[in-house]
Amino acid sequence: MANVEQMIKYKFKNPQLLKSALTHSSVSSNVAKNYERLEFLGDRMLGVSVASMLYEMFPNEPEGNLSQRFTALVCKETVADVAKNIGLDKAMFVADDEIRQNENVLCDVCEAVIGAIYVDSGMDEAFAFVKDYWQDLVGKHIAPPKDAKTTLQEVAHVKGYLPPIYKVVDRSGLEHEPIFTVEVSLGKDLKALGKGHNKKLAEFAAASKILEQINND
């Protein structure tokens, strides 16, 4: 565990908390020995920490803009990226190495580590961890981020298209690592397909592709 503590820049008083935070249910179904309860707690700690950072860093922004930033910073994709950047994917205890690439699991493990730090030392240390790994992400964009689906909704309204309709047309891949294919349409003549490891990502990909079509016309 010492090398993992170096990776996360925090030394546990109770190292068993860290081991539990890194243990997938495929290794232990005992809720006291896997990450599930700690993930529940860490998810809340992450939300409070990011919300506090946004409140302090953007004193003149209205609630709507703060909410957009917040959603982008605590979404599964962002948290999973943080987990991989830290190296938690390599540190996890799993029954199958393919689980290490599962975005849902990576997000859960990262949140579980935050929860474990909170249980071990309290809110200040948990917040310090989040600040260390999220502060650059918070300051990355001058304007609040807008996802492709929101942009497409606005473009469709301005240009007089029908509202976007999303439909899952295929699901393939392994059970724990599925690939969704989603079709988005703006009326019968304007359609695009997008793929992703969950429905939301596939919808974003499809929206991005149809926006490219619109911009190229």
SS3 173: strand
- What is d(CA 185, CA 161) in angstroms, rounded to the nearest whole number? 10
| pLDDT number for residue 43 | 96
pLDDT at 143: 62
Kindly report, residue by residue over 97-144, the tens digit of the pLDDT: 888 989 889 999 999 999 999 999 999 999 999 999 999 888 776 566
Known catalytic membership, residue 136: no
- Active-site residue, selected from the candidate residues 39, 89, 108, 111: 111
131, 53 Cβ separation under 8 angstroms: yes
Could you tell me if 8 and 86 are in contact, meaning their C-beta atoms sit under 8 angstroms apart? yes
Distance CA 44, CA 105 (A): 17
Question: What are phi and psi for residue 185, nearest 5 degrees?
Answer: -135, 145
Q: What pLDDT, on a 0 to 100 scale, did the predictor assign at position 142?
A: 57
From first CA to last CA, the distance across the chain in angstroms is: 56
| pLDDT value, residue 9 | 92
Active site residue 203: no
Catalytic residue among 39, 43, 108, 203: 43
- Quote the pLDDT of residue 86: 93
Q: What is the pLDDT of residue 205?
A: 87
Q: What is the pTM of this model?
A: 0.70
Low-confidence ranges of the chain (pLDDT < 70): 141-146, 217
- In this prediction, residue 4 carries a pLDDT of 87
